[in-house]
Amino acid sequence: MCGIVGGFRRDGAVVDSLVDGLRVLEYRGYDSAGVAVVDERGLTVRRKAGRLAELEGEIKDGALNGASIGIGHTRWATHGPPTDRNAHPHTDVAGRVALVHNGIIENYLELRDELTAAGVELLSDTDTEVLAHLVGRELADAGDLAEAVRRALVRVEGYYAIAVVARGAEASMVCARHGPPLCVGVTDDAAWLGSDVLAILPHTREVIFLEDGDVAELGPGSVRIVRPDGTAAERAPKTIEWDAEDAGKGGYPHYMLKEIYEQPDVLAQTAFSRLDLDRGDVAFEGDLWDDEFLSRLERVQIAACGTALHAGLVTSYMIERLAGVPVDVDYASEFRYRDPVLVPNTLALAISQSGETADTLAALRLATALGARPATICNSIGSTMVRESESSILIEAGPEIGVASTKAFVAMVVAGYMLAVRTARARGRIDADAGRTLLEELRLVRPRLESLLADDAVERVRGIAERHHDAKGFLFLGRGINYPIALEGALKLKEISYVHAEGYPAGEMKHGPIALIEPGMSTLVVAPHDDVAEKVLSNIEQVKARGGEVICVGSDPDCLAVADEALEVPHTGSWLSPVLNVVPLQLFAYFVALKKGCDIDKPRNLAKSVTVE
Ligand code: F6R
């Protein structure tokens, strides 16, 4: 949801670094891009609708070369269509200040009216431009950019991460956050800011994650942070352990494909160092994962969005059945407005790849305010959700760049499974032997995952995807713990190939969706060899009887035998079958999108991290 970068380097070569940073952050939004630099000639802004390549064309004249200070932005439109004039950076009337923004200024209409009444002509449709004018006005008065930003933000309601530069006697770069993420890093010769640690990592591993309300003034070797009331604050840097190369494509044509292939390793990273097989238990760090809290637990309230919600649904089956604790799963955007009632001893569990999704964060905060104990399953160390949780399970999936989430999903399900086992052990529902058997299953799943990514298995999915890519529509069916996998398969397909796909509980098909079945309609059925396989078999027969074509994904031999197309998945204990069954569905979505010529890593209208409501 918009990417922000900024750099201040003594050697006067900031433009290339800004473009490199924007390239890394383009996954956050990609409908326009822009940069602003300050040098002895003043402030220069270049911005362009379209992908980053358009902006690169715009600046290749070299006119911005030599500047030491600059900010950049890649946009996901909220206010105003993606045009040149709505692209960031925006400037104030005097052309002294340039500003980039991620988030939403909720009182922008009021601020806009006030500026218009004062004779300011607004040149864009964005909520951001008012901020540039406010900072410009305060700068005329305060003389110091950080102070001007601080004063301007006092007037602002909403959520923002911003970066600002100004020309003047002492050129400077300032950034601030309230809501969306922002981190900074300094070295002796430079200072960097970014809305994702990925933009900082090529320059330094020591990263400061700003807190809500922080205003930071950056210069080579220096970072000065003030709070909204003007008092100074200290923030210790965190050391980032993984490399920037981990975020590269590594020879794959798309990030999504690379991330699908990483899943066996991700499973190992999420799980293996935490398994205590002697005790048949899981070693998590954090008070909320102790026997004391888990044995008193009365309810788990999961809130999440999109793919993370599907991981939450799978987790709910595991926790309820293994640990005997009731679990509610809500779309975070619904939870926050439904006046929820929580019982005492509730664990509020936010599940999120980014740890910054606005709805999930708001749901976590609401549940905390209602007395629940906040926790998160998350991929982003230093994210707001992790910081606001009493305990977290970091899924260690590494950077996920493809907008369609894949490896984070598998890692979340694995984390959910381990939490279910831990809770079951804490409550005495299972003994060490049973715990060990369940956890050993994780080790067995890794080679099975690998087998699904062997060349012949992948080619088989490609063939089926190519035969079905033009179907009238797609229905995805699953039962029990694999019902969320049907939802996830349908979501992946819609997201990246723009075809209509619906996920449904298989038993619910006869209550409506069966009317869709006709020749030319493809139905993907998830069919593990489990206690509901027979029921799934009848669902397959019902689809076939109406002329629909069935693609069966799973391990049940009878279901595979009657389907028109079969994608066999190795059998595993029923708890972890979702981790395997999702893989052919991810690949199916990938190959349909590829055949249709879609932009797989940057699907239209989407953004990786949804930090607005
Ligand atoms: C789907 C997808 C989205 C995210 C959702 C939540 O492929 O990526 O549905 O799962 O926006 O994002 P996080 O997990 O960052 O909270």
Q: Give residue 612's pLDDT band: very low, low, confident or very high (50, 70, 90).
A: low
pLDDT reading at 270 higher than 80: yes
The two structure tokens encoding residue 490: 């349908």
Look at residues 62, 85, 89 and name the one whose alpha carbon lies nearest to residue 74: 89
Calpha distance 308→415 (Å, rounded): 12
CB distance 423 to ligand 1 below 6 Å: no
Give the mutation target among 361, 610, 613 for probing the ligand 1 site: most ligand atoms within 8 A of CB: 610
- In the chain, % helix, strand, coil (3-state, to 5) comes to 40, 25, 35
Same domain, 34 and 169: yes
Return the SS3 of 105: strand
Tell me how far apart the terminal alpha carbons of the chain are, to the nearest angstrom: 11
Reduced 3-state DSSP string for 37-53: EEECCEEEEEEEECCHH
Q: Supply the pLDDT for residue 25.
A: 85
pLDDT reading at 138 higher than 70: yes
Same domain, 489 and 428: no
Q: Supply the pLDDT for residue 406.
A: 97
Calpha distance 538→519 (Å, rounded): 18
pLDDT reading at 70 higher than 70: yes
CB distance 376 to ligand 1 below 6 Å: no
For 292-318, how does the pLDDT look when each residue is reduced to its tens digit (9 = 90+)? 999 999 999 999 999 999 999 999 999
- Read off the CATH number of the domain in which 435 is found: 3.40.50.10490
Lowest mean pLDDT among 93-97, 170-174, 252-256, 416-420: 170-174
DSSP one-letter code for 428: T
The two structure tokens encoding residue 415: 């984390």
Return the SS3 of 374: strand
Same domain, 74 and 103: yes
Calpha distance 334→569 (Å, rounded): 35
Mode of pairing for the β-strands spanning 190-194 and 183-186? antiparallel
Catalytic residue among 48, 258, 602, 608: 608
Reduced 3-state DSSP string for 355-371: CCCHHHHHHHHHHHHCC
Q: Which of 414, 429, 448 is the last residue of a domain?
A: 448
Q: Supply the pLDDT for residue 352.
A: 97
Same domain, 240 and 252: no
Q: Are 383 and 181 in contact (CB under 8 A)?
A: yes
CB distance 586 to ligand 1 below 6 Å: no
pLDDT reading at 1 higher than 70: no
- What DSSP string describes 218-284? EETTEEEEE-TTS-EE----EE--S-GGGGS-TT-SSHHHHHHHTHHHHHHHHHGGGEETTTTEE--
Residues in the chain: 613
- The pLDDT of 252-270, averaged and rounded, is 91
- The pLDDT of 73-87, averaged and rounded, is 87
Longest dimension (CA), the chain: 78
Same domain, 557 and 442: no
pLDDT exceeding 70 applies to what percent of the chain? 97
Catalytic residue among 2, 175, 183, 559: 2
Same domain, 186 and 256: no
CB distance 405 to ligand 1 below 6 Å: yes
pLDDT exceeding 90 applies to what percent of the chain? 78
CB distance 264 to ligand 1 below 6 Å: no
Q: Supply the pLDDT for residue 590.
A: 98
Calpha distance 495→294 (Å, rounded): 37
Which atom of ligand 1 approaches the CA of 610 most closely? 11
Same domain, 241 and 126: yes
Q: Give residue 250's pLDDT band: very low, low, confident or very high (50, 70, 90).
A: low
Q: Are 311 and 406 in contact (CB under 8 A)?
A: no
Could you tell me the distance, in angstroms and rounded to a whole number, from the CA of residue 525 to the centre of ligand 1? 23
Q: Which of 221, 246, 271 is the last residue of a domain?
A: 246
- The pLDDT of 95-119, averaged and rounded, is 92
46, amino acid identity = R
Instruction: Note if 608 is an active site residue.
Output: yes
- Judge if pTM exceeds 0.75: yes
Which atom of ligand 1 approaches the CA of 307 most closely? 10
In the chain, how many domains are there?
3
Which residue, by CA, sits nearest to atom 5 of ligand 1? 306
Same domain, 438 and 513: no
Which atom of ligand 1 approaches the CA of 304 most closely? 16
Q: Which of 190, 221, 246 is the last residue of a domain?
A: 246
Same domain, 241 and 254: no
pLDDT reading at 420 higher than 80: yes
- The pLDDT of 155-170, averaged and rounded, is 88
- Read off the CATH number of the domain in which 162 is found: 3.60.20.10
Q: Supply the pLDDT for residue 244.
A: 64
Instruction: Note if 552 is an active site residue.
Output: no
Q: Supply the pLDDT for residue 176.
A: 98
Give the mutation target among 357, 392, 485 for probing the ligand 1 site: most ligand atoms within 8 A of CB: 357
What mean pLDDT value characterizes the chain? 93
Q: Supply the pLDDT for residue 611.
A: 67
Q: Are 215 and 225 in contact (CB under 8 A)?
A: yes
For 426-454, how does the pLDDT look when each residue is reduced to its tens digit (9 = 90+)? 999 999 999 999 999 999 999 999 999 99
The residues pairing with 394 across neighbouring beta strands, listed in sequence order, are 378
CB distance 609 to ligand 1 below 6 Å: yes
Phi/psi for 172 (5° steps) reads -150, 170
Higher pLDDT, 576 or 243: 576
Which residue, by CA, sits nearest to atom 10 of ligand 1? 307
pLDDT reading at 603 higher than 90: no
Q: Give residue 87's pLDDT band: very low, low, confident or very high (50, 70, 90).
A: very high
Could you tell me the distance, in angstroms and rounded to a whole number, from the CA of residue 531 to the centre of ligand 1? 31
Range of the domain at 332: 248-448
Look at residues 14, 9, 12, 11 and name the one whose alpha carbon lies nearest to residue 35: 14
pLDDT reading at 498 higher than 90: yes
Same domain, 242 and 353: no
pLDDT reading at 32 higher than 80: yes
CB distance 354 to ligand 1 below 6 Å: yes
Same domain, 227 and 365: no
For 556-567, how does the pLDDT look when each residue is reduced to its tens digit (9 = 90+)? 999 999 999 999
Q: Are 183 and 207 in contact (CB under 8 A)?
A: yes
Helix (H) or strand (E) holding 491: helix 483-497
Same domain, 184 and 224: yes
Q: Are 448 and 570 in contact (CB under 8 A)?
A: yes
Which residue, by CA, sits nearest to atom 3 of ligand 1? 306
